[in-house]
Amino acid sequence: MTQKPLVTRPPAPPGAGGIVVTGLRRSFGDVHAVSDMTFSARPGRVTALIGPNGAGKTTLLLMLATLLAPDAGTISVAGHDPVTSPEAVRRVTGWMPDVLGSWNTLSVRRAIRTTALLYGMSAERATERAEELISLVSLDALANAQTRSLSRGQKQRLSLARALVHDPSVLLLDEPASGLDPAARVALRELVRGLARDGRTVLVSSHVLAELEELADDAVFVEAGSTVSAERLARAASAARPWRIRAIGAPDALALALSELQVPRSAVSTIGDSVVVSVTSEDVAADLLAGLVQRGVRVTTFAPAVGDFERTFLDLDREPHAGRPGGGTAAYPAGHDGPRESGDAR
């Protein structure tokens, strides 16, 4: 799976599917929840919406879901404008909110059936559809339970089922994985991947970045109400990133080899039984691995310590709007001016 953060691509021509957002702005009084967002999400792909709390992700999704009108900017959802033709957008959009509301006294089956009716399905079709979705989200055992008795994770699945009732071509999922157990997360991932494979546009916001890495094809980073520019993303991508190295054999072999390879000690830290080295690029990482193997270090693990999304997210978070690539921590290689204290390796 490619995980190149994708922010700005040429807007799709009007009438095309997917989501196209340009120059979006929305404030609540003095609070500029969304100040400038431009991105697109394409059909057949899962697009991750990544950003810290309060970055404007939920406000953006509310505008896409036809609930909020933007102050400025344009939105196209499957070729329709949510402001001028909300009806058309609602027909093709499934929205799973971050607030887990459910009709407390209704059974799971009746809640889904009612949603189907609200989408204009006939009574028979709605009943059928409820059964399909109950098994799709694995709530069979709870189909007759009142929704108020559901756990958070189960409500999450009910909410997903409700979003899928009318077989939408665009899916807006706001924190879909929160509260799900690992098995349900895997199931959700498979389900969402499958939905995208069928040609649907899926926009997912989540804080669980590791999970988005496995789920999303593209990513949109938002920060303080704005989508992050391509340049800043490129800078973040070129910043140093930690690599996790584990080796077996002589305990000091790895440390010795690292110091022989002129890795500054400040760029090395030990976490548990593994060593984490801050490395500026993939080329350097490859050279480092070759060097270690050459020196007879029996490497068992050599991998980025964090995913791409997480690294970018953290880097943007750490250095908001500052143009300094790489952050303040030492990285390898850091020039060859530093004094080597080879004595301590022994």
Under the criterion CB under 8 A, does residue 95 sit at the interface with other proteins?
yes
Residue from 129, 136, 137 nearest 113 by CA: 129
Span of 16-24, 109-117, 278-286, 312-320 interacting with other proteins by CB under 8 A = 109-117
Site string for other proteins, 133-152 (x = CB under 8 A): --------------------
Give CA–CA dist 296/309, Å, rounded. 33
Q: Hey, what are 276's tokens?
A: 């984490």
Contact range with other proteins by CB under 8 A, out of 107-115, 177-185, 190-198, 283-291: 107-115
Q: In what order do the strands lie in the sheet with 274-279?
A: 268-271, 274-279, 241-248, 298-304
Among the residue ranges 3-11, 99-107, 198-206, 284-292, the one whose residues contact other proteins (CB under 8 A): 99-107
Cα–Cα nearest to 220, from 93, 98, 45, 346: 45
Shortest Å distance, C-beta 22 to other proteins: 17
Question: Is omega for the bond preceding 320 within 30 degrees of 0, making it cis?
Answer: no
Q: Are 76 and 168 in contact (CB under 8 A)?
A: no
Interface pick for other proteins out of 14, 23, 54, 120 (rule CB under 8 A): 120
- For the chain, state the CA radius of gyration: 24
Among 9, 14, 54, 103, binds other proteins (CB under 8 A): 103
How many Å apart are CA 184 and CA 294, to the nearest integer? 44
The residue among 100 and 345 lying less far from other proteins, judged by its C-beta, is 100
| Residues from 27 through 86 that contact other proteins (CB under 8 A) | 28-29, 62-63, 65-69, 82-83, 86
Q: Which residues bind other proteins (CB under 8 A)?
A: 28-29, 62-63, 65-69, 82-83, 86-87, 90-91, 93, 95, 97, 99-106, 110, 114-115, 117-120, 159, 162
